[in-house]
Amino acid sequence: MEVKLWNDKRERELLESYADLYAIIKATEKLERAYVRDLVSAVDYEAECLKLISQFNSLSSSLAGAVTVPRFVQAYRLDCPAALNRLLQSGVPATVELRAASNSSAPAATAASAAAIAHCVQTFITAMDAVKLNMLANDQVRPLLQDVATSMARLGPLLPPDFEGKVKVNEWLGKLHKMGAADELTEQQARQLNFDLDSAYSAFLAALPASM
């Protein structure tokens, strides 16, 4: 006898989202434990953690009307304290937190720096994901790039005015300002924007240890 887990497409997609959320939480827990045990390098940990945080934020937002993460964890009896701390409380990899703490003397400044960094990380990831998903209309891309520019500006002395990321993002904002709302980037422009965002993001991460 065949057992149906869903009655329609909507229920099937919801269950698939639950499965993805479960997998992300479990993967984050394993990654956190591996990092604590020195089984993964700081560079690899940070890259993978950022990806998991981005995936978690996107998925949890889409499930906001269906279930809360705490209720999901309780319902499926997930014992993942490290993952919940990273995904729900911190929002940034442990390596980012450590850099902020080691370069700031005051606890309040550390918290503020970590929060600003977390926000900047998320704006970068959101913008890069949007381009990869072919969200290329001006009224889709421009607000995301504006968020990136604003988040970098809020980091103050961490990123100087001539910082590579600021320059590239502002150049793209200038180009988009001349386009109509419905105008879309060409395939070549989208590829270049993705490259520029990736380069700017890498430069941003590299600036954190020395500049804070």
159 and 207 in contact (C-beta within 8 Å)? yes
Q: What is the pTM of this model?
A: 0.60
Of residues 93 and 37, more confidence is placed in 37
Predicted confidence at residue 9, as pLDDT, reads: 74
Predicted confidence at residue 188, as pLDDT, reads: 95
Predicted confidence at residue 106, as pLDDT, reads: 45
pLDDT at 171 over 90: yes
pLDDT at 10 over 90: no
Q: Is the dihedral of CA 181, 146, 202, 91 positive or negative?
A: negative
Q: pLDDT band for position 3 (50/70/90)?
A: low
The two tokens of residue 43 are 């560079």
Predicted confidence at residue 84, as pLDDT, reads: 93
The one-letter amino acid code at 80 reads: C
Instruction: Report helix, strand or coil for 191.
Output: helix
Of residues 54 and 177, more confidence is placed in 177
Predicted confidence at residue 85, as pLDDT, reads: 92
Predicted confidence at residue 102, as pLDDT, reads: 62
Report the interhelical angle of 107-132 vs 94-102 (nearest 10°).
140
Give 31-87 pLDDT, tens digit per residue. 999 999 999 998 899 889 988 987 888 788 778 778 888 889 999 999 999 999 999
Average pLDDT over residues 170-175: 93
**203 CB-near residues (< 8 Å, 6+ apart):** 163, 164, 165
pLDDT at 23 over 90: yes
pLDDT at 212 over 50: no
Q: Is the dihedral of CA 57, 62, 68, 70 positive or negative?
A: negative
Instruction: Report helix, strand or coil for 79.
Output: coil
Give 106-152 pLDDT, tens digit per residue. 444 455 567 788 788 888 988 988 898 888 999 999 999 999 999 98
Predicted confidence at residue 190, as pLDDT, reads: 94
